[in-house]
Amino acid sequence: SVSGSLSSGEVDKASAHFPLCMAHLHKKLREESHLKHGGRMQYGLFLKSIGLSLEEALVFWRQAFSRKITDDGFQKNYAYNIRHNYGQEGKRVSYPGYNCLKIITSNSPSAGDHHGCPFKHFGADSLRENLSRYRLPNSLSPLLNPVQVEELMGLAQKNHFQIACTRLLEYSRNEDNLETVINPAQFYELSKTSTLK
Ligand code: SF4
C-alpha cells in the first residue's frame, strides 16, 4: 500500500496527480456535489488507498455533499457505507482500492455514473477531450500535444487501456518503459514522486 496520509483539505491539490479515472470522479464530485454509488465506491476506496483516514473521509464526503445533502441526511444515508469501507461496520473487512482490471471489467457505468476507466468506457470524443485538457503536473509543457493525444486514443481503441494510462504517466514523468499501471494508487504515487521539476 501507500505511504503518507492525506487530509480532507488536501484532496483538491492531490488530484493534480490522479489518473484519468479518479480525476474525472473528483471533477464530477465538485461539479455535482454528489456521486452515485459506483462512483462513491471507486473514488472512496481510492482515497482510502492513498492515505485518507476514516475520520478525514467522513469530513471530506460530508463537505463534498453539503450543497445538496443535510448533515442529518449524510449521517443517515452515507456515513455507514464509508465506515463499512474502512472495516468499521458489517463484516469488518477493510476493503482495498479497486485495481484497474476490476474497474475495466466489472460494473460498467450507466448514464449519470462517473465511475469506470475513461480509456475503456468513454466514447472517443469524450476521451479525446479529457486527454486534451489533462494537465501534466510534472511537465514544463502542461498539455499533451495532438500527436500524443492520438497515440493514447489509438491504444485505447485497440483495448490497451492500461498501456494507454501508463503512456500518459510516462509523458507526465518524461520517462520511458515504466511498468504497466495496475491500480490507480500506483499512478498517483509515481506522478507525485516524479523528480521532474
Ligand atoms: Fe484508472 Fe487504471 Fe484506467 Fe488508468 S488504467 S484510468 S488508473 S482504471
The ipTM, to two decimals, is 0.99
User: Per residue in 98-116, is it b (16+ CB within 10 Å) or e — as a string?
Assistant: bbbeebbeeeebeeebbbb
Sequential DSSP letters for the chain: ---S-B-GGGHHHHGGG--HHHHHHHHHHHHHS---HHHHHHHHHHHHHTTB-HHHHHHHHHHHHTTTS-HHHHHHHTHHHHHHHBTSSTT--BPPPPPHHHHHHSS---TT---S-HHHHS-HHHHHHHHHH-B-TT-SS-B--HHHHHHHHHHHHTT-HHHHHHHHHHHHHT-S-PPPP-SHHHHHHHHHT----
pLDDT at 1: 44
From ligand 1's centre to the CA of 35, what distance in Å?
A: 18
Say yes or no: CB of residue 181 within 6 Å of ligand 1.
yes
Say yes or no: CB of residue 187 within 6 Å of ligand 1.
yes
Say yes or no: CB of residue 97 within 6 Å of ligand 1.
no
From ligand 1's centre to the CA of 163, what distance in Å?
A: 9
pLDDT at 3: 52
From ligand 1's centre to the CA of 112, what distance in Å?
A: 19
From ligand 1's centre to the CA of 157, what distance in Å?
A: 15
* Start-to-end Cα distance in the chain: 26
Q: Find the mean pLDDT for residues 33-42.
A: 97
Q: Whose CA is nearest to atom 5 of ligand 1?
A: 162
Confidence band of 83 (pLDDT split at 50, 70, 90): very high
- 43-80 pLDDT, tens per residue? 999 999 999 999 999 999 999 999 999 999 999 999 99
Instruction: Report the atom number in ligand 1 closest to the C-alpha of 98.
Output: 8
pLDDT at 196: 63
pLDDT at 94: 87
Q: Is the pLDDT of residue 105 over 50?
A: yes
Say yes or no: CB of residue 103 within 6 Å of ligand 1.
yes
Answer left, alpha or beta for residue 11, where phi above 0 means left and psi between -120 and 50 means alpha: alpha
Q: Is the pLDDT of residue 6 over 70?
A: yes
